[in-house]
Structure 1
Amino acid sequence: MRCFGFIVVGLVAVLGGLPFSSNAKLEPCFYKKTCPQVHFIVFKVVEKVSRTDPRMPASLVRLFFHDCFVQGCDASILLNNTATIVSEQQALPNNNSIRGLDVVNQIKTELEKACPGVVSCADILTLAAEVSSVLAHGPYLKFPLGRRDSLTANRTLANQNLPAPFFNLTQLKAAFAVQGLDTTDLVALSGAHSFGRVRCLFILDRLYNFSGTGRPDPTLDTTYLKQLRQICPQGGPPNNLVNFDPTTPDTLDKNYYSNLQVKKGLLQSDQELFSTPGADTISIVNKFSSGQIAFFKSFSASMIKMGNIGVLTGKKGEIRKQCNFVNKKSAELDIGSVASESEEGLVSSI
């Protein structure tokens, strides 16, 4: 069933299985009557930004992930610091790292013009991820909608829940299990690392001093190691950017898994999926590497499942008028638009 005039050409549309939900009542046609142009507006903004910033689709998918893993998919990551809010934007996995916050604000501005007070910032994050998959030639993610926005943020939980790029497989599985996500979800969602960039800072130990050994990570292909050392020299600029996928850096595809098979996973947390001896993730990596349809199907199902974590519906939370502040604070400050506080880089485990 199609609810909007959002046309997707040349993509694999996959609906996936039943999502994990906190008794959420989300619906694909939630805005059919109240804001029927919502998909088109989100697409228009993200597509325009992506013309000059091809990294943005990957950044928006990651922003959605970092929101959902903290308090659920409630746009808590968008809240700025106030007297009563300790922003998640300065948590260690987010600080000087997350991108796309201003794009979300651009979308919100356009939606407030078209249908004021209707579309939540949480749903904007969701739709931005959906559009980003499309723009990166990935699957069409038919997310159900109707999320509402949180009144709080939780920096402590952001530091605790978001997987780190140096996590081993046991740690990765535990972080995903907390969110109700299983091993297949872990491997499928990690496929978002088939596009985007990471700063040298987060791979230097793998290149020069893995686990304090003074040597590189033995699971890293030696030729690839030399290439990475050229981009990230020891003692060089830590903010140099490296493509997650050296073959198709701006395309969401199965090449991520093929890279793992030849020891070209960029982060330790990537390569762990294939190089951990006897791991049950190895067969899933092989499956996704051998068939893009299989990857797209699982990626779609896992994204939708993740998108239903801890959502607020009904009368819970609110529909923020401005994504960086709860409505009470926006009214106090008489805010029309506000820049978010953290807007550079792209790194983490997804």
Structure 2
Amino acid sequence: MPLKLKPPRKGKTPNYSIRGTYLGVHVDRTAGTADKAVAERLRKAIQKSIERGEYQKPATVEPPREPTFADAALAYLKAGGAPNYIERIIKDQSAHSLRDKKLAEIDQIAIDNAARAVYPDAPSTTLNRQFYTPVSAILKHAGIERKIKRPKGWRGSKATSWLDPEPAFAVIREAFAIEPEFGLLCLTLLYTGMRLSDPLRARVRDLRLGMALLYVPDTKNGDPRPVHLPPILVEAFKAQPPRQARPRKANGIRLIDGQAGRSRTSAGVPWLDRPADEKLFRFCKGGRLYDLLDQAMTRAGVSFPKRQGAFHLFCHTYGTWMTHYGELDTYGLTRTGRWKDPDSADRYRHTIASPEARRADLLPVPMSKQERKAANAD
């Protein structure tokens, strides 16, 4: 059966098609033209090439596969994206899993359902940090700039606790009394606002007292931060005494629990003369360190609810003092480098009354007895 020409189909294709089976070879292809004479010449040429055994079907091009969320996540990680929390999102096998969804199908409803499938009982703050934030980063890296609505309450409470100067100074005094190096750590947190992990990861080489600077190469925000050291801190670092070695047990001597143990690194060496690669502070983030802070706060007579009374209290105090005494607004706080997001720094705006609220000082008030007498006399 010879090959036949099929005319153009309105709304389908403007070109002729060549279809049929000739000498056992099936042909179904476009002629690529709306000119019947040209299409006919191509039909005859195809028949002759089949007779010679030379005809080859046009190569079919597979349509590109639409990328999935898993593809986008892999590309994001290969580009150096933060891996935090992504594994749990990818391993989700629920009906709402994002893993195999095409990127074009991922909308707000899909994200919300997947978030609750991965973290069914998590509070909004956890959902935002461990699901919405990494998902948003992956989609943005894939070129999808869709604005993602975060779960209600994702910012947490804006209520902020801080220390007034006298209680803060009392806590610092007690911290130095417990141990000089612990006191210096607390003083550093109070006057820089750093997260606890930042000074604990710092090395001696990162301290540049001549520049009044502590360079933090890797912060939680992912950006390096040059931390300014006020004069009180510079002097405290210079005055820091060497670490004391732990006492050793001897015959007939009973040591207090906790006194003995492994000798402290660089004990007896001037504090600023230690090796450059050594940790700036010897502490590790853990229960023992938090116990020291509880002890200092108890001795100072300072008490806060457990969630508000940890080391982050120093950060809130720094932000509040920079607002009260440093007279910084939200933009100014962000420019210190401590906060990357203005929304995070904005909480300290709520620790002072706004200029508009202070206009209440101008409202009329009742006259005192003396004022009334003076008015009546006039």
Which bin holds the TM-score, normalised by the shorter protein?
under 0.3
Rg (Cα) greater in structure? 2
Normalization by structure 2: what TM-score? Answer: 0.22
Normalization by structure 1: what TM-score? Answer: 0.23
> Higher relative contact order by CA 8 Å / sep ≥ 6: 1 or 2?
1
